[in-house]
Every structure is written in structure tokens, then in C-alpha cells.
Amino acid sequence: MASERLRHLALITTLLLLGLPLLAGLGALLPALLDGAGWSALLAAPGLAISLLLTLGVSLGSTLFTLLLTFALLAHGWESAALRHLERLLSALLALPHVAFAVGLAFLVAPSGWLLRLPAQLLGWSLPPDWQTLRDPLGLGLTLALTLKELPFLLLMALAALRRHEVTRQLHLGQSLGFSPAQVWWRLLLPALWPKIRLPLAAIAAYGCGVVDLPLLLGPDAPPVLAQRLWLWSREADLSLHRLAHQGALLLLSAALLLLALLRWLEHLACQGLRHRQLDGHRRPARAHRWPAALTGLLLAVNGAILLALLLWSVTRRWRFPDLFPTHLSWQGWQEALPTALPLFGTTLALALVTTCLAAFWALLVLESERRPWPLWLLCLPLLLPQASLLIGLDQALAYLDTTPGIGWVVWGQLLFVFPYVYLCLRGPWHGFDERLVLCARALGASPWRAWWRIKLPLLARPLLAALAVGVAVSLAQYLPTLLLGGGRVVTLTTEAVAIGSGLNRRLAGLYALLQLLIPLATFLLALWLPGRINPLERRPC
């Protein structure tokens, strides 16, 4: 009876927190589908075709680059010291928020950025070159940022999907038949891995389609990508532009679905194309490649340079071009900004903790109540839709209901995107848990709740805390839900960092980006330290 009640509670919770906003958000856009005049106005909007092509090009390019680099690192760097080192640092790379990463990358690649200061000194430049390295019209900077930021995530998902003992066995078998390890990877292991990471890859593509905060920081902006145009239209006082935003949200949704279908077709084409090579019997000698170590070093160096640039700009008083380092450092900027930033820090932290705890409770409820696993695509559906389309529709639905924007709606909106990540982190460990341990505790007289609390939860403390850390990082990255569903009344470090980073105050932008980084970094460190205090079996010798 208790298990039936638990299943009913999980079903009702999922319908209210997931099904209702999805139906409301997509349903609110349906009237725009039949509005012929609105479609005519949208198609007549200047630069619409370029915005759409930029969206598809940036999203598809960053997704394919991320996939190719992930596969190449696995095929040519498996069991190498460089990949093992990168694997240990994946949590730190994931802790760096997208906005802070974009602000730091802008400090590096801008015409007066750090990367051009050394050539400027060697060539004797006294002024920054007139190069469009930032906000370029082709969206190359945005594509680079998305690729570098999503590569650690996809690599983590790929490593989680692989079973190391099976990979080792297949590599040894292939080598005994005369094939090099790279051949075994490209011909056998990677075609089998691609379907297992299909969902994370689709989430990366959908995120690239609907992202708004990174284009605001890195461009392009003449014209901008489609999601950014929709956001700007939805904020205008002219109601006719709101109408364009609703039509544009449907167009963006169609573009995302087309992109997901294209990725599925490419997967089929690649796997089918490799079949004839799997059986051709051609063998190549094993060769050592140095570029995986170079790529790993480059990725870590870029992230390290971004952190250093953020720190230097936050304390810079004077930094003239082309000097490599500031000529005058001062903590005055921190002293002036902290009275305003600390309340935002508290709001951001509270919002992230509340949203993540609710997402973890919801995920545990679903995991503990399911007889069979829920369809994964259904629970992760918010990640497979462009965020701009879904949230513009949800904002319209709340406007129909005449609700007042506030922090409660922001939590609800963020929960849509935090829950899938928390659930994905917990799904594997929860399904792999040996339930006989709980049955033994029950046989010794423990109640179901006591057995779960004293046996199962401590043994799964590490993945649970890791899921909470991921949830906090994802909540911190939610720029669009905070602005749209908060109606501008809920201000966080993320919204302020985007507003300041798109301006000219580099000192304040670096400061807010560093403050934004502190929250996920602290939660990831806590997730590494706390399991040994909860479960003595988790303690590792120093």
C-alpha cells in the first residue's frame, strides 16, 4: 500500500512540475501557429533568414565539434596520463558557469584581450588591432565558447556510459587480432557508444539553439541569433513585437527539431558507413599520438587563463594596452561592489539550494517509486527543446492567467531544467544499488524508512551529493527563466553578470563572474569532502 501511494505521489508530482508547464508553454504558442498575418510579419522581419542560419550553424557546428573532439580523445588518448588527469578535473571544469566562462573568454579574445597583447608587444602595436575577434558576424566566437564549455560535459557522459572492463577486454581482443587500439575504437567502440550518448548530444544541440546569455556576451549581434531576437522582441513595449516573438518561438522550435533529426540521420549515416570498414580486415600499426595531451593541456590552459583573467580584471585599477599585466592593482572595486553584490549572492545561493533540493526530492521520489524505469526522453524533454521557445510560451501562459511574476515562478521554471540533470546523475547509481542490503536490514527488524535512511542513503551519499552539486551549477546558469518568469523582479548574480559583461566595465564584470563561480565551486568541493564524513567506507587514504 505504501509503495502504491509513493507511485501515485511521484506521478502527481511529475505531472504538476513537468507535464503542466510543458503543456502550458507549448499550448500557449498554438494560437500563433494559425496566425497568418503574424507569420507574414515574421518572414518580413529584416535579417530573419541570417538569424536562423546563424542559429543552425552555431548549434550544429558546436555540437559536431564537441562530439568529434570527445571521440578523438577517447580513441587516441584512452588510458593515457593526459586523459586521466582531465578526468579528475572534469568536476572543476563543470563548476565554471557558462556566463563566467563567456566573460573570461571575452577578456582573452577581444582585440585588446590577453591573447593579442604578446603579439602587439612583439610587433610594436600601440593600439588594439581593428579585428572583429569578438561579436563576429559568423558566430565563430560563440561556436568556440559552446564547444569548449560542452566538451567536459559530453566527455563525462561518455565516460559514464562506458564500462571500463568491457572496453579493456575488447581492446585486448582487437590487438590480439592485429588491429591498433585506435582502429578498435573507431570501428567498434565508438559506433556502439554514440547511441548511448544520444540524449546528452541532443541536449547540447537544443541548448545551442535556445541559449540567450552567451550571445549577449559574445555575439553575433548584427543580426543576432534567433533566440536572442526573440528575447529582445518579448521585452519590447510594442505588443506587435510580442506577436513576432510567439511566431519566432515556433520557428525556433521547428529549427531545433530539424537539428535533432539531422543529428539522428548523421548518426545512422556514420554507423552505416563504418560497417564496411569493420569487416575489411585492414590493419594498421599502433602509433603514439601527442595531440590528445596537447588538446587536454590546451583545454585546461584556456580555463586556467580565463580564471586568471577574471581575477586580474576584478582587481585592476589600470591596465594599458599592450601591457601583459596590470600596472596598478587595487581592491577598491571589491570594496565598492560588495555591499551591492552580497545580497545578490545570498539570493542566488538561496534560489540554487531551494531549486536543487526540490529537484533531488523529486528525482528520489521517481527513482524509489518506479517498478520499471520511466522513459528517459520524457523526463529530459525540457533539455531537448530550445529554452527560449518553451519559456516564452510559459511566460505567455502565465500572462493569460494574470499571475504576478516572482521568485516562486522562477523556482518552478528553473526546476524544469535542474531536475533532468539531477535525475541523470542519480539514475545509474540508484539502479545499480544492491537491494539485498535493504532486505537484510528489513529482516533484522528495521522499518522500510529506517533501512533506507541508515543503509541505502549513506552508501549512495557520494552520487547524491554529486547530483546536488550539478543541480546547483545548473540552477546558477539559468538566465532566461530568472528574467522571464521573475519579470525583472528577481535579480541574481547571473543576470547582473550578463548585464555588466555586455557593457564596458571589465573590472565589475570580472568581479561578478568570480562571485558567480564561488557557489558551484564550493558545492563541488563539499561533494568531494562530505561523503567520507557520512560513510566511513568512502574515506580514502591521503
pLDDT in tens, 4-43: 777 778 788 888 888 888 888 888 888 888 778 878 888 8
> CA nearest 255: which of 218, 219, 225?
225
Give me the CATH number covering residue 82: 1.10.3720.10
Residue 252's CB: how many other CB atoms inside 10 A? 28
Pairing of strands 316-318, 328-329: antiparallel
Same domain, 232 and 335: no
Secondary structure element (H or E) that encloses residue 270, with its range: helix 239-278
Identify the domain boundary among 271, 302, 329. Answer: 329
Same domain, 131 and 264: yes
Same domain, 225 and 336: no
pLDDT tens digits along 233-270: 888 777 778 888 888 899 999 999 999 999 999 988 88
pLDDT value of residue 432: 79
Please list, residue by residue across 419-456, b when 16 or more beta carbons sit within 10 angstroms of its beta carbon and e when fewer do.
bbbbbbbbbebbeebeeeebeebeeeebeeeebbeebb
> CA nearest 99: which of 515, 509, 498?
498
Same domain, 271 and 381: no
Same domain, 303 and 442: no
CB–CB of 495/75 below 8 Å? no
For 60, the 3-state DSSP assignment is helix
Same domain, 400 and 506: yes
Cα–Cα distances in angstroms (integers) from residue 420 to residues 336, 366, 381, 424, in the given order? 39, 12, 8, 6
Same domain, 272 and 337: no
Q: Which domain holds residue 516?
A: 1-34+331-541
Angstrom distance (rounded) from CA 368 to CA 374: 12
Same domain, 524 and 387: yes
Mean pLDDT for 48-55 is 92
pLDDT value of residue 541: 43
pLDDT value of residue 360: 92
Same domain, 26 and 111: no
Q: Residue 249 class from Cβ within 10 Å (0-12 exposed, 13-18 middle, 19+ buried)?
A: buried
Identify residue 200 by its one-letter amino acid code.
P
Secondary structure element (H or E) that encloses residue 312, with its range: helix 291-314
pLDDT value of residue 350: 92
Higher pLDDT, 242 or 226: 226
**Local confidence band at 542 (pLDDT 50, 70, 90 cut-offs):** very low
pLDDT value of residue 143: 93
Angstrom distance (rounded) from CA 246 to CA 230: 8
The grid coordinates listed for 391 are 519559456
Mean pLDDT for 441-457 is 81
pLDDT tens digits along 344-403: 999 999 999 999 999 999 998 888 887 777 788 888 889 888 888 888 888 888 888 888
pLDDT tens digits along 125-148: 878 887 887 888 888 989 999 999
Mean pLDDT for 207-218 is 89
Strand partners, 316: 329
Mean pLDDT for 307-322 is 85
Angstrom distance (rounded) from CA 150 to CA 155: 9
**pTM to 2 decimal places:** 0.90
**pLDDT surpasses 50 at 1:** no
Residue 189's CB: how many other CB atoms inside 10 A? 21
Same domain, 320 and 264: yes
Secondary structure element (H or E) that encloses residue 318, with its range: strand 316-318
CB–CB of 421/470 below 8 Å? yes
Same domain, 22 and 68: no
Same domain, 224 and 368: no
| Mean pLDDT of all residues belonging to the chain | 85
Q: Tell me what percent of the residues of the chain surpass a pLDDT of 70.
A: 95
Cα–Cα distances in angstroms (integers) from residue 332 to residues 160, 307, 314, 337, 511, in the given order? 45, 20, 10, 9, 11
Cα angle for residues 18, 19, 25 (degrees, 5° grid): 90
pLDDT value of residue 282: 66
**pLDDT surpasses 80 at 201:** yes
**Local confidence band at 487 (pLDDT 50, 70, 90 cut-offs):** confident
Q: How many domains does the chain have?
A: 2
> CA nearest 370: which of 2, 3, 1?
3
